[in-house]
């Protein structure tokens, strides 16, 4: 029996160990711990990678979403449209900005925001739309941008799971007014601790966010706005610079593993595999299949040494934290149906062909 972890950060670390140690030592020798030149260098590299003019390193992905909203002047009395099929940070950022999240249902095939549902959710209080590029596949951005333009709304991309993903040849994060990323350790581009980033082509917005992350100061002790402490650590900036060079190769490896899973499971009745849309380049942060009797399925795989996850078991409108919205079961049926069936299979660049084959074989055996 094989033992296959859901994620293996040590396997990745072993391939870049010497470079990472050298980068961290450089930061320590320069005592550039909070912000500073190593963060600035990473920001330049990441903006180039995303095809945007600016990148701003921040404390985490939640900071990124929150700061983008605050910098756009979105707050009390405003509404922001997003999806209930995401990690809670998407809605938290809206709530913490003082605005109200308004959910729309998802497309069953992509698991992303359904553009056809957006217009009926728009009110005179709506100020922005946050599509989520869930699991590493971009949402269908063209119709979302058309609707936003028609109604004068900002589009902020939640690209926290989509580092290097593409929509019609454009990198995730580069299409809306701002794109927000998490560099949580398990992400396709993960720091060695907490980290986040925002990309934009709007220089004035970038300047505002740079001030906001540093207590509202453009120069030390002169505070033009009420800001926050959301700086990216120097060590994280240096680590991310090392890892960014490998990201395209790591994403290619994930896509190869995903293709092998999809091909191997295509004929298995009872399991729905993820589908890459023709407009997208999916980077498979998560490879989520859908099954009935999930607990039984997962228990079987665990018994065979295969670690799995669930992303995410409870849609946001059914979370206790958002019970005040009074959106009970049945409010967003597609999101609820998918959430009840998701199982995330092992997915990381360093998976071996043998490991992928073993997972496929065990699933086939389960259904046989």
Q: Is the pTM of this model over 0.75?
A: yes
Reported as a single tens digit per residue, the pLDDT across 202-240 is 999 999 999 999 999 989 999 999 999 999 999 999 999
What residues have CB less than 8 Å from 22, skipping those under 6 apart?
none
What residues have CB less than 8 Å from 317, skipping those under 6 apart?
84, 103, 325, 327, 331, 332, 335
Reported for 315-319, long-range contacts at CB under 8 A and 24+ positions apart, including other chains, are: 315/84, 315/85, 315/339, 316/84, 316/85, 316/86, 316/88, 316/90, 316/91, 316/101, 316/103, 317/84, 317/103, 318/84, 319/88
Q: How far is CA 305 from CA 37, 136, 302, 324, 350, in A?
A: 44, 26, 5, 41, 17
Residues of the chain with pLDDT under 50: none
Portion of the chain with pLDDT greater than 90, in percent: 100
Q: Which of 180, 217, 4, 27 is nearest to 90 (CA)?
A: 180
Beta strands per DSSP E along the chain = 54-58, 79-82, 100-103, 126-129, 154-158, 166-167, 170-171, 178-182, 196-200, 217-219, 222-223, 271-272, 280-281, 287-291, 342-345
CA dist 217 and 315 (Å) reads 38
Q: Give the burial class of 121: count Cβ atoms within 10 A of its Cβ; 0-12 exposed, 13-18 middle, 19 or more buried.
A: middle
Within 13 Å, how many C-alpha atoms sit on residue 7's CB side?
Answer: 13
| Helix H or strand E segment including 5 | none
Cis status, amide bond into 312, omega within 30 of 0: yes
CA dist 200 and 209 (Å) reads 10
Reported as a single tens digit per residue, the pLDDT across 119-178 is 999 999 999 999 999 999 999 999 999 999 999 999 999 999 999 999 999 999 999 999
Sheet holding 170-171: strands in order across?
Answer: 170-171, 166-167, 280-281
Q: Which of 144, 165, 233 is nearest to 197 (CA)?
A: 233
Residue 266, token pair as written in the block: 């295509």
The pLDDT value recorded for residue 152 is: 98
The pLDDT value recorded for residue 175 is: 98
């Amino acid at each position: 029996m094989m033992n296959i972890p859901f994620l293996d950060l040590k396997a990745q670390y072993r391939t870049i160990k010497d470079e990472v140690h050298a980068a961290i030592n450089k930061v320590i020798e320069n005592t550039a711990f909070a912000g500073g030149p190593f963060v600035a260098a990473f920001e330049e590299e990441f903006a180039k990678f995303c095809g945007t003019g600016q990148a701003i390193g921040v404390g985490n992905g939640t900071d990124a979403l929150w700061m983008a909203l605050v910098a756009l002047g979105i707050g009390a009395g405003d509404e922001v449209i997003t999806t209930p099929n995401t990690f809670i940070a998407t809605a938290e950022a809206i709530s913490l900005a003082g605005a109200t999240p308004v959910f729309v249902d998802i497309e069953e095939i992509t698991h992303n925001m359904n553009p056809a549902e957006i217009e009926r959710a728009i009110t005179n209080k709506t100020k922005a739309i946050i599509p989520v590029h869930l699991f590493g596949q971009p949402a269908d951005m063209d119709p979302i941008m058309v609707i936003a333009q028609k109604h004068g709304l900002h589009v902020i991309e939640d690209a926290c799971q989509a580092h290097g993903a593409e929509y019609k040849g454009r990198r995730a994060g580069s299409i809306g007014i701002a794109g927000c990323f998490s560099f949580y350790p398990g992400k396709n581009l993960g720091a060695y601790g907490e980290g986040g980033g925002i990309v934009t082509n709007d220089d004035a917005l970038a300047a505002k966010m740079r001030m906001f992350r540093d207590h509202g100061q453009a120069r030390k002790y002169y505070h033009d706005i009420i800001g926050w402490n959301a700086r990216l650590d120097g060590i994280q900036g240096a680590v991310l610079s090392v890892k960014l060079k490998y990201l395209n190769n790591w994403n290619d490896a994930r896509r190869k593993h995903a293709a092998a899973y999809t091909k191997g499971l295509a004929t298995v009745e009872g399991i729905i595999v993820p589908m890459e849309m023709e407009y997208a380049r999916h980077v498979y942060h998560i490879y989520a299949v859908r099954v009935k009797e999930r607990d039984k399925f997962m228990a079987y795989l665990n018994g065979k040494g295969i670690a799995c996850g669930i992303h995410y078991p409870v849609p946001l409108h059914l979370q206790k934290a958002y019970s005040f919205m009074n959106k009970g079961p049945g409010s967003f049926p597609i999101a609820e149906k998918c959430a009840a069936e998701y199982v995330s299979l092992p997915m990381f660049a360093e998976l071996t062909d043998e490991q992928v084959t073993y997972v496929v074989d065990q699933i086939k055996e389960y259904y046989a």
